[in-house]
Amino acid sequence: MERLLFAYDEIFLKHDTGMHPENYNRLIAINSWVAKSALNEQIDVITPRKAEKVDILRIHDEKYIDSAVQRIENGEVALDIDTSVSKESAEAAYFAAGAGLTCADKIIAGDFKRAFCSVRPPGHHAERTHSMGFCIFNNVAITAKYLQQVHGIDKILILDWDVHHGNGTEHSFYTDPSVMYISLHQYPFYPGTGAKTDTGVGAGLNYNLNFPMNAGSGNHEYFTAFNERILPEIRRYNPDFILISAGFDAHQFDPLASINLNSEAFGEFTKMILSVAEHAEGRIISFLEGGYNLEVLGESVLFHIEILINDQY
């Protein structure tokens, strides 16, 4: 049984998006489920540090960073058609990016093996030069670069099971064989990227793997993709560290998509990933991405973190 790092801070509640599906009640729902679970005794809640600008610059263009912060400080209420913001949103975004870095430091130091970052705004749609899809900074991509450039980790796997394709993460590493990006997502669907034929270019060819799922797909289709394609690819790659873009919006009751997973499926995904995590020594950092039905979000997260705590690789 492992103790789990749980990165959270109230600054994430102050990213006020108003009447928007990505709102602070998501984290309140998760906190409620965790608090009433027996797993709470195996969880160490930590306050993440604020990322430095240099950390963000590993993924994002400086003009974009400065512009986004300035627009938020000027009182704009949206950075794009999808991404609502308030006066605390830039601060929240810096801390959301810092959560992965804080967890990375502690895991590399040997204090923990696994972490869950209960953060917002989410990140996997954020591109180098612009916000997108509720995301300001790409939290998981920033952590991947930090692990490589600060801690000397050679090969990183980013697994993204959010129902929407992580265009920003894909584009961050499309030519880079040192980061394998694997995504399962409803397709065709927002944001329109993530075709099966998009497999990377140059040195990154075949290190970007998309598994488009038809609307109506459920546990069986996802488990088949994992067992027949994804797990063999991960074994072949043998990553030194695993990062998960853990969206929970592929749930059958989520209002923003048409995939039919149940809550238990997210625990099964986690168990399967741990079964191929030997070379990574079981080291995993998971980042909250989507999930917009408050009644099932906390339950789904709990199935995920239960396996992170209880399963051995």
Q: What is the pLDDT of residues 261-302, one digit of tens each?
A: 999 999 999 999 999 999 999 999 999 999 999 999 999 999
Q: From the candidates 60, 124, 125, 171, which is the catalytic residue? A: 125
Q: Which pLDDT score is estimated for 234?
A: 98
Other CB atoms within a 10 A radius of the CB of residue 228 amount to 9
Q: Which pLDDT score is estimated for 79?
A: 98
Q: Which pLDDT score is estimated for 312?
A: 77
pLDDT, tens digit (0-9, with 9 covering 90-100), for 49-94: 999 999 999 999 999 999 999 999 999 999 999 999 999 999 999 9
Other CB atoms within a 10 A radius of the CB of residue 128 amount to 13
Share of the chain above pLDDT 90, in %: 98
Mean pLDDT of the chain: 98
Q: Which CATH number characterizes residue 90's domain?
A: 3.40.800.20
Q: Work out the pLDDT band at 224, boundaries 50, 70, 90.
A: very high
Phi first, then psi, for residue 285 (nearest 5°) are -120, 125
Does the N-terminal peptide bond of residue 191 adopt cis geometry, omega within 30 degrees of 0? yes
**Nearest partner of 99 among 300, 292, 307, 285, judged by Cα:** 285
Q: Which pLDDT score is estimated for 301?
A: 98
Q: Which pLDDT score is estimated for 311?
A: 84
- Residue 207 belongs to domain spanning: 4-310
Share of the chain above pLDDT 70, in %: 99
pLDDT, tens digit (0-9, with 9 covering 90-100), for 232-270: 999 999 999 999 999 999 999 999 999 999 999 999 999
Q: Which pLDDT score is estimated for 80?
A: 98
Mean pLDDT within 125-145: 99
CB 43 within 8 Å of CB 115: no
Neighbouring residues of 198: CB distance < 8 A, sequence distance ≥ 6:
170, 208, 210
Q: Work out the pLDDT band at 121, boundaries 50, 70, 90.
A: very high
How many domains does the chain fold into? 1
Mean pLDDT within 153-157: 98
pLDDT surpassing 90 at residue 131: yes
Phi first, then psi, for residue 17 (nearest 5°) are -105, 5
CB 198 within 8 Å of CB 172: no
pLDDT surpassing 80 at residue 19: yes
pLDDT surpassing 80 at residue 45: yes
Q: Is 151 a catalytic residue?
A: no
Q: What is the C-alpha to C-alpha distance for residues 60 and 41, in angstroms, rounded to an integer?
A: 37
Mean pLDDT within 27-32: 98
Q: Which pLDDT score is estimated for 99?
A: 99
pLDDT surpassing 90 at residue 313: no
